[in-house]
C-alpha cells in the first residue's frame, strides 16, 4: 500500500478511529525517538570514556595500518588453531 492509498483509507475512517490511528502513529514515533536518544546517549558516554582513557594515557594509540596488521595476525592465528 502506498502512502497516498493509506491516507485515502485513513480519511475513510470515522473521526474517532482517525484519532486512534494518529495516536498510535505518534506513540510509535515517540518510542523510536526515545530509542534513538538512548542509543545516542550510550555512544556519547562511550566516546567520553575513550577520550578520557586517551587523555589519561591509559591506552596506547595505534595507527590504522598497524591495527589492520594486528587484526590480520590475530585472525590468521585463530584460523591456524581451528585447523588443528
Question: Considering all CA atoms of the chain, what is the largest pairwise distance in Å, rounded to the nearest integer?
Answer: 70
| Domain extent listing, the chain | 14-83
Model pTM?
0.45
Residues 6+ apart with CB under 8 A from 54: 61
Query: Has residue 84 got a pLDDT over 80?
Result: no
For the record, the C-alpha cell of 48 comes out as 567520553
| Residue 18 CB coordination number (10 Å) | 13
What burial letters (b/e) apply to 38-56, b meaning 16+ CB within 10 Å?
A: eeeeeeeeeeeeeeeeeee
pLDDT, tens digit, 9 for 90 and up, residues 26-72: 888 887 878 888 888 999 999 999 999 999 999 989 899 999 999 99
- For residues 13-34, give the mean pLDDT: 88
pLDDT score of 22 = 93
Amino acid at each position: 500500500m502506498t502512502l497516498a492509498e493509506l491516507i485515502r483509507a485513513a480519511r475513510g475512517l470515522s473521526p474517532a478511529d482517525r484519532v486512534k490511528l494518529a495516536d498510535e502513529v505518534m506513540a510509535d514515533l515517540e518510542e523510536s525517538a526515545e530509542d534513538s536518544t538512548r542509543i545516542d546517549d550510550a555512544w556519547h558516554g562511550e566516546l567520553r570514556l575513550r577520550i578520557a582513557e586517551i587523555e589519561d594515557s591509559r591506552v596506547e594509540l595505534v595507527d590504522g595500518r598497524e591495527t589492520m596488521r594486528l587484526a590480520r595476525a590475530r585472525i590468521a592465528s585463530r584460523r591456524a588453531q581451528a585447523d588443528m
